[in-house]
């Protein structure tokens, strides 16, 4: 197992790395993730959440930001990406 995956598997590492990034963002006076998401939505960026991932990870669709399209299947996402000027798949 590659080292980053091994470290990520340790209990509490997910929360610790999240706090490290949040501190780095704060120290550099960079926009927060929440601010970047809100700004993107205000600018018309469309965020789509994969239905299969929502189900597999047992996410609650009510926890997503307002404006995020949930329950998008692969066929719909591919069609939307084909029609878009820019695509980013994360």
Segment 71-80 mean pLDDT: 90
Find out whether 73 and 53 touch, Cβ atoms under 8 Å: no
What local confidence, expressed as pLDDT, does residue 60 receive? 92
Q: What are phi and psi of 5, to 5 degrees?
A: -70, -40
What local confidence, expressed as pLDDT, does residue 3 receive? 56
Dump pLDDT digits (tens) for 4-36: 667 777 788 888 888 888 899 889 988 988 899
What local confidence, expressed as pLDDT, does residue 2 receive? 54
Locate 41 and state its tokens: 């939505």
pLDDT at 72 over 90: yes
Find out whether 18 and 26 touch, Cβ atoms under 8 Å: no
Dump pLDDT digits (tens) for 25-66: 889 988 988 899 999 999 999 999 999 999 999 999 998 988
Which class for 59: exposed (0-12), middle (13-18), buried (19 or more C-beta within 10 A)? Answer: middle
Find out whether 49 and 72 touch, Cβ atoms under 8 Å: yes
């Amino acid at each position: 197992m590659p080292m980053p995956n091994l470290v990520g598997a340790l209990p509490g590492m997910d929360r610790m790395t999240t706090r490290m990034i949040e501190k780095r963002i704060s120290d550099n006076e960079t926009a927060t993730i929440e601010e970047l998401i809100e700004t993107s939505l205000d600018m018309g960026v469309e965020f789509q959440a994969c239905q299969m991932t929502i189900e597999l990870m047992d996410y609650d669709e009510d926890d997503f930001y307002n404006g995020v399209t949930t329950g998008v299947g692969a066929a719909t996402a591919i069609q939307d990406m084909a029609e878009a000027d820019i695509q980013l798949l994360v």
